[in-house]
Structure 1
Amino acid sequence: MLLAACGSKTEEAGGAGDRRPPQLVAAMAVPMEDYAPTLVALGTVTPRQSVAVRPRADGQIDSIAFAEGDYVRAGQVLFRLDPRQAQAALAQARAQLASAVATEVQARADFERAEALVGKGFISGTVLDQRRAAAEGARAQIASARAQVNNAETQLSFLTVTAPISGRTGELQQRLGANVRQGDAALVTINQLSPIHVRFLVPAADIAAARAVLRQGGGRVVAKTQVGGEILATGKLVFLDNNVDPGNGGVTARAEFANQGDALWPGAVVNVELPLAAPTPHLTVPEGAVQTGRDAPFVWAVSTTAAAAAPKTDAGAAAGAARGAGATVQMRDVIVAGRLGGKVYLSSGIKAGDQVVVDALARLKDGDAVRLKRPGDAQNAAQIAGRAGAPPPTAPAGAAG
């Protein structure tokens, strides 16, 4: 019996020696916050209209009436080409019109005289028919000459190149004095910046929800910077492509922004956020508090059993429990409703008010004893966990897990 007792004491001593010391961790109470399932994607800014201004006639550039990068309005003069040859052609056409008018006057007078003489028998009916044909031919020559004048005026107008749309000009492709030909490469490109579009991809899982948003007026789309998440502009969904991309199963979407102040610039890549449903309350934890498990994501929940076991009269024990004395951690599987802005919104797995660990997660094991940091330190740790764990916006936030 003595040997058995000694053996029992030795085992107890060995078990105490193997027990892990309490880990110092930061924890926070889980709040409820409103969350709407949100599509988060990368978008590319594209102009609503982009027009390459090309010459419609041959000529030498005589003048350029704008500077590169200027904002121009539709109809504003951009280039003037050498007009001398076109002006000469117009003068020639007008002269031919005047000649045709004079010929018609003479032919009409001859026909009128023939009409008066044929009744008196001085000329035959054949001559009258000839005079009538000559008068009608003269009238046709006037119509042809007028068409030539219109054509010459049109060709002359092509030598003054105007802006087809309002927008901002790009780099000049032809300089003063250059000879250009009809249909040559663009002289300059104009991009319409207000309103402006952002193109992005809607994953297959969110197509139905995005279509519902479009039917209801387009919702509220937010464009943010990739670094810092600063809001650049807010707009609405205006377009979903009519075909699913077989390569990725998604649909191309386009959002429109008023773009006052040109905050969005063509070619820029921005983060796009599109709420897909009305917001509802969800359990909210920092991104870094959610770990990836073998079967499901999980959090470390703090269990302070000492507080429940301490008598109400034992104020010291209750205070110690509040500071984490006798606390342990438990692995809790959770269901993720979405991720947005460094936060994870949970559907289930924990309850509002539960304490979850927000730092020192890698050192923990299920059932470990822990000591909690002061509230101020815990708050700082939660903020750091939210910033450090924020994922890149390449997938819809509404996907569970």
Structure 2
Amino acid sequence: MPALKPFPASLALAAVLVLGCTAALLYTGTSRAADEAPATAARPALTVSTAQPQRGAVPLRLAANGNVAAWQEASIGAQSNGLRLDAVLVNVGDVVKAGQVLARFSPEVVQAELAQARASLLEAQAVAAEAAANAERARSLQATGALSQQQIQQFTTAGQTAQARVEAARALLQTQQLRLQHTQVRAPDSGVISARTATVGAVVGAGTELFRMVRQGRLEWRAEVTSTELARIQPGTKARVTGASGATTEGTVRMVAPTVDPQTRNALVYVDLPAKTDFRAGMFARGEFALGSTDALTIPQEALVVRDGFSYVFVLGPQQRVQQRKVQTGRRIADRVEILSGLEADASIAVRGAGFLNDGDLVRVSPAPAATSGLEKFKENRALALTSKAQAALI
């Protein structure tokens, strides 16, 4: 049986040293990882600013849509038959005054007929004068018996008939005088010409429309309001109207329609608009009726986070950690949002940087900034957003 060789002492010593170094390295790495873990966990994820909800009076408004239309639109037409249009003096968009001449018809035919009517009146007056004299003479001879009662009655009737013909001739003369006046088409009121169909040289009949005019240049917004909201609007209610071009103006409710459309269940609310605006008849416009104010709890819109179709806020809790809260929102007023439920009035919520948070995140609260200008505030918000994104990328 072969004898075992003794294990070299140098190799044993080397093995002991290797095992010792390995154990030391493992212990050092474990200790360092244990020391760094709390530091990493304690590092704030994001820097945010906080605010508390505010309770106060919030304007109560009712939104509606509708069309802009003329307050009253006048139709201006020809009042005589068979006259030729000589001149058209206005066009669409012209501002006119009451009584201003808009167009002229040829007066020659009417002037000739007027002269004939004047001559007929003179003839009738002459005949009437003669008949009246004959009747007077017949009555004077009544006592003598030279004329019978029947003859006297005939002379009297002839005088009355002649006088009636005078009145008829006078009426015909007045008619021709009116026709002569109607050769000049005048504006019935002040306003703006909205349409023109008059053409120079055309021979038109009585009643043919020549112009349309927006009376006094007044426009109104005809807002469609549901029947359930109709009782909240009264004459005198103020409304802010915005056109498709972005132009806005203030109006006043003049009248609420007495009937409701049975198909849509909507009713029209007539809102008077100022005379000088950028609105035009036929435009579509949106608007809001001012219905007073109500007490409401609001938060900055920046603090509201919408995820998966739901609205959330982040409430600052113990140890600088945030809690995600689901809230129900209401109206939006400028840069604030009404909170209907889900948040207490004394809660502290994250505002700037809220969009980068998750439930349970550790945050560092920045001090409230002093009042700054709009440009400085924009730069500050931009810098904070970039910092938050950078911090989120490192985690």
The interval holding the TM-score normalised by the smaller chain is 0.7 to 0.9
The corresponding residue for 1:238 is 254
* Map 1:262-301 → 2, pairs under 5 A: 262-280=277-295, 282-286=297-301, 289=304, 291=306, 298-301=311-314
The corresponding residue for 1:54 is 77
* Map 1:335-346 → 2, pairs under 5 A: 335-336=329-330, 338-341=331-334, 343-346=336-339
Q: Does 1:252 align with 2:268?
A: yes
The corresponding residue for 1:22 is 45
Q: CA deviation at 1:264?
A: 2.9
Q: Does 1:121 align with 2:145?
A: yes
The alignment's TM-score, normalised by the length of structure 1, stands at: 0.72
Q: Which amino acid aligns with 1:276?
A: L
Deviations for 1:89-111, whole angstroms, at most 9, x for unmatched residues? Answer: 12211211111111010011111
Are 1:335 and 1:347, in contact at CA under 8 Å, matched by a contact in 2?
yes
Question: 3-state DSSP class of the match of 1:131?
Answer: helix
What stretches of structure 2 of length at least 5 have no aligned partner? 1-29, 383-395
Deviations for 1:349-379, whole angstroms, at most 9, x for unmatched residues? Answer: 3344644455776765443445567866996
CA distance change for structure 1 residues 27 and 350 in 2, over 3 Å: closer, same or farther? same
Q: Does 1:367 align with 2:360?
A: yes
Deviations for 1:159-195, whole angstroms, at most 9, x for unmatched residues? Answer: 21111221111353223323322233x3222113644
Q: CA deviation at 1:34?
A: 3.0
The separation in 2 between residues aligned to 1:382 and 1:52, in whole angstroms, is: 61
Deviations for 1:259-316, whole angstroms, at most 9, x for unmatched residues? Answer: 3x3343222333312112335454243288263777xx6331331423xxxxxxxxxx
Deviations for 1:307-340, whole angstroms, at most 9, x for unmatched residues? Answer: xxxxxxxxxxxxxxxxxxx33132132352x234
CA distance change for structure 1 residues 262 and 227 in 2, over 3 Å: closer, same or farther? closer
* Map 1:218-237 → 2, pairs under 5 A: 218-225=236-243, 232-237=248-253
Q: More displaced, 187-196 or 352-361?
A: 352-361
Question: 3-state DSSP class of the match of 2:229?
Answer: helix
Question: 3-state DSSP class of the match of 1:221?
Answer: strand
Tell me the number of residue pairs that the alignment of Structure 1 and Structure 2 aligns. 342
The alignment's TM-score, normalised by the length of structure 2, stands at: 0.73
The separation in 2 between residues aligned to 1:48 and 1:330, in whole angstroms, is: 53
The separation in 2 between residues aligned to 1:243 and 1:167, in whole angstroms, is: 29
Q: Which amino acid aligns with 1:37?
A: L
Question: 3-state DSSP class of the match of 1:168?
Answer: strand
Q: Does 1:39 align with 2:55?
A: no
Are 2:249 and 2:277, in contact at CA under 8 Å, matched by a contact in 1?
no
What stretches of structure 1 of length at least 5 have no aligned partner? 1-8, 307-325, 385-401
Deviations for 1:112-131, whole angstroms, at most 9, x for unmatched residues? Answer: 11122232222222211111
The separation in 1 between residues aligned to 2:123 and 2:305, in whole angstroms, is: 91
Alignment RMSD? 3.7
Q: CA deviation at 1:84?
A: 1.2
Query: Rg: which structure is higher?
Result: 2
CA distance change for structure 1 residues 327 and 367 in 2, over 3 Å: closer, same or farther? closer
The corresponding residue for 2:90 is 66
- Alignment identity in percent? 25
The corresponding residue for 1:330 is 324
